Chains A and B, each alone.
Chain A
């Protein structure tokens, strides 16, 4: 779980954040402003500051926010000047947008605000639809609105080229003022703000809805906020039936507001197309006597607070019924509430102004159970108490800064003043007064002022300050609160300075810290004197109370805080030390592994064994070894037709030697025609055990080399999930034992994943790449490693990274086991919780008829009206289950607009008839339509993986090298799920996670990347074009520029893999291509050569070995999709190899061979050679039976019309 932040404002307007991984409130990095309101989302936080201006705080990230500006230069040919800028009067502008309608010369582009900067100058884009153009980037056409091609023809009368330039958002990790001048003057300042709506559209765009309320009760909506434009473009007014005081916007389509009179407004008609919604519905206040004062909404919940501080929960709210059905009164009195991610609720209690979280909020129990106070210290509290701990912590710098400010002020007061601080001090009280006076009296603010006055009275009672009680006795109501403040502003700094002088700890720390950051603090004071003066006052205030006094909060926002009911937080017990969180965060090498005591135990144990046993090996063992049998009942997918599940007895017989190594036999006893029979498999012959995806049964498959050839594993089903896992754990252990495999996989290991997300690893035997007789692929033994991943990439120094289905990046910790293995055969260290999220899709199908138009009444011959993608299975919203019992639903069904082929506004795709190609618009010939619905489900498991936050990845690659290589920093490249190319910095064997990403600019989003042994970086853009990155080296890890490589004719490329020298690509039609003509002086090569079809993925290793995942591999019993295949006959002079050898599958999704750098022994030993020969002989026989095995396959992998049964993992 990456950490995320909870934002809060205290009663003095200071902004703090609390990390889910942290244990104290940290002052916002950019702390020079005071805030009234905040609304946070994951990537940023919006706020209204004391000056009533809107500010935006965007978190820094390794990936910059870039916006591509483009303009077209148009030219026409004439016989005299040839192509020139002289256009016909009827033509478009010489510089225009893509349509030609808008005049936009290069110098007309301006930065939208002071928070942007240009990345570089304008340059010409030399790319048209994934094809490189001639130098200069011109594309030609007959006339202007026409199709452009890269080639100049005899009839090309016009040409144009595209100029692009990037601007970059620079105000990150600081509060950027959203200037209102462009929008025209706003009528009045804002008083409330709420951001949400990020779930309305899909992730890549990153739309955000931002709603604001002005002091006069008008409502505003910020247009055009998305990833590339975090500030949005303009405010538009939204009409409301009354004066609004507060608004809340949920992650999806819920927007509620509170009216001045106490009723609530609900926005209706919010959709993907219309995020602003269309109309308002009024809902009465929960209580008949008192109106509502505050509302907070989430995905499916609405919470409200009435003027008497009572908390209410709205029943029956969902996206179909945003109004809900009724109110339920809840326990607790709150001043405000906020609903964050996962409908978690945060509040500030009326009684103690502490931040509370609603405990026990789950999707089934949205109202939660109890309020739980967050009791953590603030980082400046800590530093004040002088603890060395907090000085060392990351927050120290900022707290230090604050301290310095205060010290400057204190010095000023205690007459050892500098000129600057004197000036600051003299301005401070007046400014503070002015500011406070300007604050209008609005309900929403009243409690802040109330609080401030509350707070001041308390010390007064202690009798420390004679003047405050007298003011208090005047019975200062609302208005008096301000007067209250004014007096104390003058008084308090003095007392604080005295205290500061008295406390030796204080001055000590000041002396240490004051020197270096002084200029910064000074500039703060000069620039924003009014603000810093407020800070003095604040600090002075706080001095009066002990450290134990908890902070008083005014506002909290959890919109960016990823917490759910299972999240473990260290927020509730302030006394718990920092150490625990530090321990759990340790990467790659845990202290337990390096600690001396651990090493010592290992040494002593082996010493003990030596001492006590070595000379006595001839002694008899006290306990004779015997056979151990474990039995159970299972169902077996029988081998003969008709195939069905039959009940069988299942037994594992194990016998072990004195050394602890064991072997065993697996028996399946079944009845055939009333005759008792059995089937057996030797444990040492089993090559892989695979759990099979099945939503009802707990199924796994057992492969042996023979079964792999048949493409027909032994499939078994256990009665319960627990039983299956017990058996799998035991069988896995037995298999590993019989092969003598213990501990974590070696660095040379081959990693793979199945379409179920299971991770398998194979210890490559040395003769795997032997020429001419390599180890047959079907004899490779694969064992499962815990976790759930979509792909894994590795190299031979042991750097292993993976990407989950939810695009989360993970780094391998060096452990093994986890998940399925339940502690058996699992390392005790380095196993962590891992979660993954993926979508399940179903299709809604409709047919057109003349009477009702499209309807869910199909022809009798039609597919189900709710079906899977093939139409063969009925899949309704209600009946569709998560892929296996390990998965749980985490969202509701929603329309998927990202189906390939495009959709219309409602998500429909049209076609002439059902099994056809679909398009996203309706034509006259379309009689059927379909749309895809998606629902997210989540798995929680364990494995040797640690998350690498925060950037989600699409693809990644690790530098292949020899295992002895002494490379310090390993090159690792990735592609973010938005398509940014990234280069990881600081990846070493000691810290495989690296430190940060370096963004590598591209003109378009990318999807696949691979780095070769000589730092050749190849990448594929989303439009299918290929690029080579020049000048990448260990010294220049990011290289300098991209070279566009033409694709094979009429093919869009999908994936690339680069070995030592070889470059292979796979296109979208599953063809595998080899790049010819690569030389050191010309690393881009010359042309593509076709190698094979039916290839899904390719992995080229550090020895240029080629492994693929192939579809449609024919076995003797069945056909398999997603099969691991090995290119045999690959030699330095013959990099393309000769034929394929088929290994494990189907259902395999990904393989990486890039860790295996062991050269095969040069001379093949006579004995193994014989063995392999023998093997080959039998293979040849099989092949002639099954057809296809030995057929010299250079292109077509045999396809037959036969039951597609081999993809055992069932993709």
Chain B
């Protein structure tokens, strides 16, 4: 029988086949071929697209190349969202591979943050980790870690090293059995149809009576329309890591197995999409 451990691996080794096409208005010296990559779902776009940049460098003049930014069907892709989240949010119901358009001009200042180096990603990543740990353990675990442990987490993500990452991350995922879970579940709910970037509130994994909260409980509280609709028809799709868990799934468990998400956004994210 499959074990929880296998789920961790499945989540970590999730890949999205992507084709990168240069934007038609970019000035090139010759025709640019599309570039194909398997992107790790748990990583960040700017962290894994060095190869893309190098590929298009071959056909472009240095002076025509500004900061690279990516766009999918008119939406600028925020690099500080995990890749899997971006895909689930914008492209989950389309045919694969995922067609991303590459831009080097006209950086959309109002939509995107600049990402000048990997340090920026690292800083963003670490702040997410810290934010999550504050919710989970009042930040005690992350603060007790040494600098090299922090580095190992980051290197694990950067180099796609499951064991390296999990050797440290497991400490962040510990909780006492007596309490039945974290202090609060670090999560964010992203929606396709909303102007708000995401919903984030304090939510405990267990009720005051010691009952475990389920995914359904969380949604009921955070986003009631996602679970209840008048005609009984499913209006929203709740997607985590490209799958739709049942609403009965206990939150703590869901979070344990999908915890790789901690690294990329603060938490489990629920892109809710209208069907």
Chain A: residues with CB nearer than 8 A to chain B? 568, 575-577, 579-580, 584, 592-593, 595-598, 600-602, 604-609, 611-613, 615-616, 619-623, 625-626, 628, 654, 656, 660, 662, 726, 729-730, 733-734, 737, 742-744, 822-829
CB distance from B270 to the nearest CB of A (A): 14
Cβ–Cβ < 8 Å partners of B177 in chain A? 584
Residue from B10, B161, B208, B211 in contact with A605 in the complex, judged by beta carbons closer than 8 Å: B10
Residue from A596, A611, A626, A660 in contact with B162 in the complex, judged by beta carbons closer than 8 Å: A660
Cβ–Cβ < 8 Å partners of A579 in chain B? 209-211
Q: How far, in whole Å, are A626 and B170 apart by their CA atoms in the complex?
A: 23
Residue from A596, A613, A660, A826 in contact with B246 in the complex, judged by beta carbons closer than 8 Å: A596
Question: How would residues 10 to 28 of chain B score, 1 for a CB under 8 Å from any chain A CB and 0 otherwise?
Answer: 1101111100000000000
Q: How far, in whole Å, are A307 and B245 apart by their CA atoms in the complex?
A: 65
Q: How far, in whole Å, are A1057 and B158 apart by their CA atoms in the complex?
A: 55
> From residue 138 to 170 of chain B, which have CB atoms closer than 8 A to chain A?
158-164, 166-167, 170
Question: Are the CB atoms of B162 and A604 closer together than 8 Å?
Answer: no
Residue from B5, B15, B39, B173 in contact with A742 in the complex, judged by beta carbons closer than 8 Å: B5
Question: Are the CB atoms of A620 and B38 closer together than 8 Å?
Answer: yes
Cβ–Cβ < 8 Å partners of B14 in chain A? 608-609, 612
Question: Are the CB atoms of B209 and A601 closer together than 8 Å?
Answer: no
Q: How far, in whole Å, are A1205 and B152 apart by their CA atoms in the complex?
A: 38
With A604-B243, A616-B97, A619-B97 given, name 18 new contacts (CB 8 A): A577-B209, A580-B210, A597-B245, A598-B249, A598-B253, A601-B254, A605-B243, A608-B241, A612-B15, A613-B38, A620-B38, A621-B38, A622-B51, A623-B40, A623-B158, A743-B6, A824-B166, A827-B3
Contacts A623-B160, A822-B170; A601 near B7 (Cβ below 8 A) = yes
Cβ–Cβ < 8 Å partners of A744 in chain B? 3
Provide a sorted-by-A list of 30 A–B residue pairs whose CB atoms are within 8 angstroms.
Answer: A575-B208, A576-B210, A579-B211, A584-B177, A597-B249, A602-B6, A604-B245, A605-B7, A605-B11, A605-B241, A605-B243, A608-B243, A609-B13, A612-B242, A615-B96, A616-B38, A619-B17, A620-B36, A622-B39, A622-B49, A660-B9, A662-B163, A730-B163, A742-B6, A743-B2, A823-B174, A825-B5, A827-B3, A827-B5, A828-B256
Residue from B48, B96, B257 in contact with A623 in the complex, judged by beta carbons closer than 8 Å: B48
Cβ–Cβ < 8 Å partners of B260 in chain A? none
Cβ–Cβ < 8 Å partners of B64 in chain A? none
* Chain B interface residue number, banded: 35 or more
Q: Is B29 an interface residue (CB 8 A)?
A: no
Question: Are the CB atoms of B173 and A823 closer together than 8 Å?
Answer: yes
Cβ–Cβ < 8 Å partners of A823 in chain B? 170-171, 173-174
Q: How far, in whole Å, are A730 and B167 apart by their CA atoms in the complex?
A: 8
Question: Are the CB atoms of B38 and A824 closer together than 8 Å?
Answer: no
CB distance from A612 to the nearest CB of B (A): 6
Minimal Cβ-Cβ distance residue in B for A607: B243
Contacts A602-B2, A612-B14; A622 near B37 (Cβ below 8 A) = yes
Question: Are the CB atoms of B3 and A619 closer together than 8 Å?
Answer: no
Q: Is B231 an interface residue (CB 8 A)?
A: no
Minimal Cβ-Cβ distance residue in A for B50: A622
> From residue 236 to 275 of chain B, which have CB atoms closer than 8 A to chain A?
241-246, 248-250, 253-254, 256-257
CB distance from A281 to the nearest CB of B (A): 45
Question: Are the CB atoms of A600 and B178 closer together than 8 Å?
Answer: no
Q: How far, in whole Å, are A656 and B163 apart by their CA atoms in the complex?
A: 10
Cβ–Cβ < 8 Å partners of B99 in chain A? none
Top 9 nearest A-B pairs (CB, nearest first) are A616-B17, A604-B243, A622-B48, A597-B246, A597-B249, A823-B170, A623-B160, A828-B4, A580-B210
Question: Are the CB atoms of B210 and A577 closer together than 8 Å?
Answer: yes
Question: Are the CB atoms of B243 and A601 closer together than 8 Å?
Answer: yes
Q: How far, in whole Å, are A165 and B17 apart by their CA atoms in the complex?
A: 80
Question: Are the CB atoms of B1 and A593 closer together than 8 Å?
Answer: yes
Q: Is B191 an interface residue (CB 8 A)?
A: no
Q: How far, in whole Å, are A602 and B246 apart by their CA atoms in the complex?
A: 12
Residue from B160, B242, B246 in contact with A600 in the complex, judged by beta carbons closer than 8 Å: B246
Question: Are the CB atoms of B209 and A575 closer together than 8 Å?
Answer: yes
> From residue 179 to 215 of chain B, which have CB atoms closer than 8 A to chain A?
180, 208-211
Question: Are the CB atoms of B3 and A742 closer together than 8 Å?
Answer: yes
Cβ–Cβ < 8 Å partners of A822 in chain B? 170
Q: Is B101 an interface residue (CB 8 A)?
A: no
CB distance from B184 to the nearest CB of A (A): 19
Q: How far, in whole Å, are A576 and B43 apart by their CA atoms in the complex?
A: 41
Cβ–Cβ < 8 Å partners of B38 in chain A? 613, 616, 619-622
Q: How far, in whole Å, are A892 and B127 apart by their CA atoms in the complex?
A: 51
Q: How far, in whole Å, are A609 and B12 apart by their CA atoms in the complex?
A: 11
Cβ–Cβ < 8 Å partners of A605 in chain B? 7, 10-11, 241, 243
Question: Are the CB atoms of A623 and B43 closer together than 8 Å?
Answer: yes
Q: How far, in whole Å, are A553 and B21 apart by their CA atoms in the complex?
A: 80
Cβ–Cβ < 8 Å partners of A622 in chain B? 37-40, 43, 48-49, 51
CB distance from A469 to the nearest CB of B (A): 41
Question: Are the CB atoms of B167 and A824 closer together than 8 Å?
Answer: yes
Cβ–Cβ < 8 Å partners of A620 in chain B? 36-38, 51
Minimal Cβ-Cβ distance residue in A for B178: A568
CB distance from B22 to the nearest CB of A (A): 17
Question: Are the CB atoms of A601 and B257 closer together than 8 Å?
Answer: yes
Cβ–Cβ < 8 Å partners of B96 in chain A? 611-612, 615-616
Contacts A616-B96, A620-B37; A595 near B159 (Cβ below 8 A) = no
Contacts A601-B257, A620-B37, A620-B51; A606 near B10 (Cβ below 8 A) = yes
Cβ–Cβ < 8 Å partners of B254 in chain A? 601
Q: How far, in whole Å, are A662 and B49 apart by their CA atoms in the complex?
A: 25
Question: Are the CB atoms of B161 and A628 closer together than 8 Å?
Answer: yes
Q: How far, in whole Å, are A611 and B88 apart by their CA atoms in the complex?
A: 13
- Which of B5, B16, B36 has the most chain A CB atoms inside 10 A of its CB? B5
Q: How far, in whole Å, are A600 and B245 apart by their CA atoms in the complex?
A: 7
Minimal Cβ-Cβ distance residue in A for B41: A612
CB distance from B151 to the nearest CB of A (A): 12
Q: How far, in whole Å, are A772 and B228 apart by their CA atoms in the complex?
A: 68
Minimal Cβ-Cβ distance residue in B for A599: B2
Contacts A604-B244, A616-B96; A576 near B209 (Cβ below 8 A) = yes
Q: How far, in whole Å, are A286 and B205 apart by their CA atoms in the complex?
A: 50
Minimal Cβ-Cβ distance residue in B for A617: B38
Minimal Cβ-Cβ distance residue in A for B49: A622
Q: How far, in whole Å, are A626 and B156 apart by their CA atoms in the complex?
A: 11
Q: How far, in whole Å, are A592 and B241 apart by their CA atoms in the complex?
A: 20
Contacts A575-B209, A580-B180, A601-B243; A612 near B248 (Cβ below 8 A) = no
Question: Are the CB atoms of A743 and B164 closer together than 8 Å?
Answer: no
Q: How far, in whole Å, are A602 and B3 apart by their CA atoms in the complex?
A: 9
Question: Are the CB atoms of A619 and B209 closer together than 8 Å?
Answer: no
Question: Are the CB atoms of B4 and A827 closer together than 8 Å?
Answer: yes
CB distance from B111 to the nearest CB of A (A): 23
Question: Are the CB atoms of A829 and B4 closer together than 8 Å?
Answer: yes
Question: Are the CB atoms of B10 and A609 closer together than 8 Å?
Answer: yes
Cβ–Cβ < 8 Å partners of A628 in chain B? 159, 161, 164
Cβ–Cβ < 8 Å partners of B209 in chain A? 575-577, 579
Cβ–Cβ < 8 Å partners of A616 in chain B? 15, 17, 36, 38, 96-97
Minimal Cβ-Cβ distance residue in B for A620: B37
Question: Are the CB atoms of B246 and A828 closer together than 8 Å?
Answer: no
Cβ–Cβ < 8 Å partners of B244 in chain A? 604
CB distance from A566 to the nearest CB of B (A): 11
Cβ–Cβ < 8 Å partners of A602 in chain B? 2, 6-7
Question: Are the CB atoms of B159 and A623 closer together than 8 Å?
Answer: yes
Question: Are the CB atoms of A612 and B245 closer together than 8 Å?
Answer: no
CB distance from B214 to the nearest CB of A (A): 8
CB distance from A487 to the nearest CB of B (A): 43
Question: Are the CB atoms of B37 and A619 closer together than 8 Å?
Answer: yes
Cβ–Cβ < 8 Å partners of B180 in chain A? 580
Minimal Cβ-Cβ distance residue in A for B98: A612
Residue from B7, B48, B178, B248 in contact with A596 in the complex, judged by beta carbons closer than 8 Å: B248
CB distance from A583 to the nearest CB of B (A): 9
Cβ–Cβ < 8 Å partners of A604 in chain B? 243-245
Q: How far, in whole Å, are A950 and B4 apart by their CA atoms in the complex?
A: 32
CB distance from A596 to the nearest CB of B (A): 7
Cβ–Cβ < 8 Å partners of B37 in chain A? 619-622
